[in-house]
Chains A and B, each alone.
Chain A
Amino acid sequence: MTLPMESMYQQIILDHYKHPQHHGLPEDFDAEVHHVNPTCGDEVTLRVRIADGQIAELGWEGEGCSISQASTSVMSDLVAGKPIDDAMQLQEKFLGLMQSRGNSELTEADEDELEDAVAFEGVSKYPARVKCALLGWMAMKSAVAEAGWSGTDVKQTEKSGSQS
């Protein structure tokens, strides 16, 4: 079908929704969190295992709108196996993109780092849907915190968006 160029639903989003990455809950984990987005009733349960300052393993299950599920899938691809510091920086960057109200100014370097997550840029124009796109990222952040990681440059205390 033809959709406006600025469609929120980029093909990448639909692909991740249909074929979610890191789907399924690992047996071996340090922390499990359950986050809910009351706007759409989206839910995600996410488990992480951390080792040597890295997200050694990450898996999730969830249900809800395509934006929430695809974003969680994209996030998983980006952070699994990465140093936690990098994951937190990406999380901050994605949060900034989502809070830009359609006026993001991503540099090429940002785009390289965010990879598939750039596809969610259009979501930032729709305040009602921003929480959907952030659900998995917020869950990842609080799971890592619960697993006992004490960050270097990201505040541990603010669990922004969790369970909100």
Chain B
Amino acid sequence: MTLDVEAVRKDFPILSREVHGVPLVYLDSANTSQKPQVVLDTLTDFYAMHNANVARAVHTLGSEATNAFEDARDKVAAFINAANRDEVVFTKNSSEALNLIAYSISNATTFPGADQFRIGPGDEIVVTEMEHHSNIVPWQLLAQRTGATFRWLPIDDDGRLVDSSIDEIITERTKIVAFVHQSNALGTINPVSRIVARAKAVGALTVLDASQSAPHLPLDVQALDVDFVAFTGHKMYGPTGVGVLWGRYDLLAAMPPFLGGGEMIETVDMTGTTFAAPPHRFEAGTPMIAEAVGLGAAIDYLSALGMENVAAREHELVTYALEQLATIDGLTIIGPDVPVDRGATVAFTLAGIHPHDIAQLLDEQGIAVRAGHHCARPVCVRYGISATTRASFGIYTTTEEIDALVRGVTKVKEMFS
């Protein structure tokens, strides 16, 4: 089955609007995706008909809200093939999911029974040079709090991890390896099994940032064989304000809490508190109920399209985009320039023209792209550039839109020549 892009586009109301008097060409889905009508309807219906707090009201609305929220958890669990629905923790976004792990690990220093998570001087935390700041800063902060050492796997000129560094940098001292599945800055899809095999061999925990893969590829957390996975709802056609931390149940069950509050406890006594089992231990306070339900609707939408079909379609798009962009003189792709192990996010520079000028002039032609370091500044530093222009695609992107991008970039070049 192939994806019917025209039908998909009709499901996204925003795609029919104009910008500066021309039809919107939205090529910034890696930043945040647009939302299908069904997600908007689900949010409205929840607030209009079922709104109540979860897990604490005995009345009908309370039961409906709780069921809707917990149904969303089931949908997420099925979407990523989790072995157990209790492995799915709702967070605010990917950033919070990653911070949750990092803070739980430092809380382990003084938490009874959490010895396996303790890290300190002499231990090492390994990330990659292509991480989003959300998968750098929480680990730098953890290293600072615990005295552990922060290290990273370097990237090569083509935007891929230096393979030999995997064995060199991940050693017996490594306690955590946190890495991105698909890079938001380069489009690179990393060799998960290669990294996980090495991490397992040295007994390190693995954390996968799937923010840019969950919307675009079939995700199977059991097959990936990592310990934790983080992703964010707003990039996968769901609402803002909801993300997911998936973790292996035995690990979550031994991990200290991150935030304290309502719903995360078993019993509270003024002399001490015991904590709920996962996932509730990690969901203090009233959660993002409507947003989680909305994410469930987005997942239903993606599942109906079929993630295999989504991945195949986006592979066609990136193949086409790389071919077409290569015809522009002076344009350099930052990241893999062949459609192998890469997603449908293409960053580039144009000789002599600043990315912010390119993005602004494209916007004046109705084309939305992102310019900057894409919250992955070390990538720009690695290539000695201040910024890139990035076009990123999704289920609603057409080849005509890629043609519009190529025409737009060509016009920008003419203006500056």
Residues of A in contact with B (beta carbons under 8 Å apart): 1, 3-4, 7-9, 14, 17-18, 39-42, 64-67, 126, 128-129, 132
Contacts and interface: CB of A to CB of B under 8 A. Distances in A.
B357 A66 contact: yes
A18 B29 CA distance: 33
Contact of B415 (A1, A40, A126): A1
Given A3-B365, A39-B356, 6 more contacts: A1-B414, A9-B357, A9-B361, A9-B415, A64-B386, A65-B354
A17 B416 CA distance: 9
Interface in B379-416: 386-387, 411, 414-416
A102 B20 CA distance: 15
B387 A126 contact: no
Contact of A4 (B21, B353, B357): B21
B354 A66 contact: yes
A42 B415 CA distance: 20
Size bin of chain B's contact surface: 10 to 19
Contact of A40 (B20, B356, B365, B414): B356
Interface in B337-396: 353-357, 360-361, 364-365, 372, 386-387
Contact of B387 (A3, A4, A40): A40
A4 B20 CA distance: 7
Contacts of A9: 357, 360-361, 364, 415
Contacts of A65: 354, 356-357
Contacts, number: 48
Interface in B308-355: 353-355
Contacts of A14: 415-416
Interface of B: 20-21, 353-357, 360-361, 364-365, 372, 386-387, 411, 414-416
Contacts of B414: 1
A66 to B, nearest CB: 5
A67 B357 contact: yes
Nearest to A132: B356
B354 A40 contact: yes
A25 to B, nearest CB: 21
Nearest to B373: A41
A126 B416 CA distance: 21
**Nearest 5 pairs of A and B residues by beta carbon:** A41-B386, A65-B354, A1-B411, A65-B356, A40-B356
Nearest to B386: A41
A129 B357 CA distance: 10
A145 to B, nearest CB: 27
